[in-house]
Structure 1
């Protein structure tokens, strides 16, 4: 019988110790639950992935055309990236993450979706700070093609536009830096972003200073720990 809890890896990072854990909760059957912690803070769990997947589906459904080039900011447990690759129009997906530890979990297939991402030739991991690359349009996200433009950029890193994984990320959420990122989108390209909180009017107004259209979506999912639905949100913006 496998253990009910196992720490699969733990490494130091610029943000503190980051760890990958696998557990089973008998009340939920024999499913494996994967969790990522940064220090004592829970970052993500495979128990709750609906909004991460919705980030891809809601964002990509607003993208027109074929042969799409897409950026995912934040690898996590891989759910946003895998959901994006279900769109057959995508010809290449760049998944940007600042932590080589997280990328290695997928490359070594310590997490279930690593195998899926590694097997898809459209997928490419990019080690680097999303926020640094987003605000440097002359170089951009693709280390092999400076200044390349994309059909969509999907972001899931910070907890919300006002609650940051790293305090240094706060500087991204300005008209100037969002505009620099938008320079890396093709005409009518899409920027979509996940948040753990309901849509924030101030952030919607900020996005409207950069994008021609801004829509906010509330994503509901069942939370078995609370015995009721929880919600996250997804902002979808069209250049």
Structure 2
């Protein structure tokens, strides 16, 4: 096997075969690049993390108060979670992932940010479907405290609001289910979500049926493979609309 490429792990999952790879690209310097694939599809690369980090910084910038309780939906390579933990106001972070393999990669420190997350007592891994937990208002995201309210929920699982990691996720993007998720937030709570695509007007309109204020942000980052820059989006929503 070439020193420029190594498959570190490959496991079956409920979504198909998931694999962790490490590579080096000499033209990009002396650094390891970690990648996650699901079957033949790329899910995550440590080359492109600006928008995953911006999901935390943009979302948490709208959160008021101290001693915050925050949920991250989707662990990936850990960049959203680690960026969230740089906010000293966070008292506890619940990182939800449906794939036990991905959680184990971090717990076993097979990915670089696993060591950072494991060393921070505020971090808690939660094995489960974000979408199931989000719509279960009587239980929720904290396994030890049913019905707990959170200051922020940061979501990075699907490719976009219209392109899904799993076709079954499509049903989440409705007023009914987004409102169920919003029940897990405090009255001034924030929901933020990553998308690989440009902001979508239809999705913004949908979010406005659930939240009082909705913004979209374009995050620009260098993509050497395209010889220029690429963009992702982050939606930031404030103050759930409570139905009478």
Q: Answer yes or no: is 1:215 the counterpart of 2:215.
A: yes
Aligned residue for 1:29? 29
Q: Answer yes or no: is 1:199 the counterpart of 2:216.
A: no
Structure 2: how far apart are the matches of 1:127 and 1:175?
26
Aligned residue for 1:225? 225
**TM-score (normalizing by structure 1):** 0.99
Structure 1: how far apart are the matches of 2:111 and 2:161?
27
Query: What is the CA deviation profile of residues 101-159 of structure 1, one whole-angstrom value per residue up to 9, with x for unaligned ones?
Result: 00000000000000000000000000000000000111011110000000000000000
Q: Which runs of 4+ in 1 moved over 2 A?
A: none
SS in 2 for 1:157: coil
Aligned residue for 2:81? 81
What RMSD over aligned residues (CA atoms) do the two structures have, in Å?
A: 0.6
Aligned residue for 2:119? 119
SS in 2 for 1:220: strand
- Unaligned regions of 5+ residues in structure 2, if any? 240-244
SS in 1 for 2:55: helix
- In the TM superposition, what is the alpha-carbon distance from 1:30 to its structure 2 partner? 1.6
Structure 1: how far apart are the matches of 2:55 and 2:137?
23
Aligned residue for 1:179? 179
SS in 2 for 1:12: strand
Structure 1: how far apart are the matches of 2:215 and 2:137?
25
Structure 2: how far apart are the matches of 1:93 and 1:154?
11
Aligned residue for 2:242? none
Structure 2: how far apart are the matches of 1:55 and 1:29?
27
Aligned residue for 2:50? 50
SS in 2 for 1:117: helix
- In the TM superposition, what is the alpha-carbon distance from 1:76 to its structure 2 partner? 0.1
Structure 2: how far apart are the matches of 1:188 and 1:52?
23
Structure 1: how far apart are the matches of 2:22 and 2:137?
38
Structure 1: how far apart are the matches of 2:28 and 2:185?
42
Structure 1: how far apart are the matches of 2:219 and 2:73?
19
Aligned residue for 1:15? 15
**TM-score (normalizing by structure 2):** 0.97
Aligned residue for 1:106? 106
Structure 2: how far apart are the matches of 1:71 and 1:51?
17
Structure 1: how far apart are the matches of 2:29 and 2:206?
44
- In the TM superposition, what is the alpha-carbon distance from 1:29 to its structure 2 partner? 1.4
Aligned residue for 1:166? 166
SS in 1 for 2:144: coil
SS in 2 for 1:198: coil
Structure 2: how far apart are the matches of 1:226 and 1:172?
33
- In the TM superposition, what is the alpha-carbon distance from 1:3 to its structure 2 partner? 1.0
Aligned residue for 1:235? 235
- Unaligned regions of 5+ residues in structure 1, if any? none
- In the TM superposition, what is the alpha-carbon distance from 1:55 to its structure 2 partner? 0.0
SS in 2 for 1:212: strand
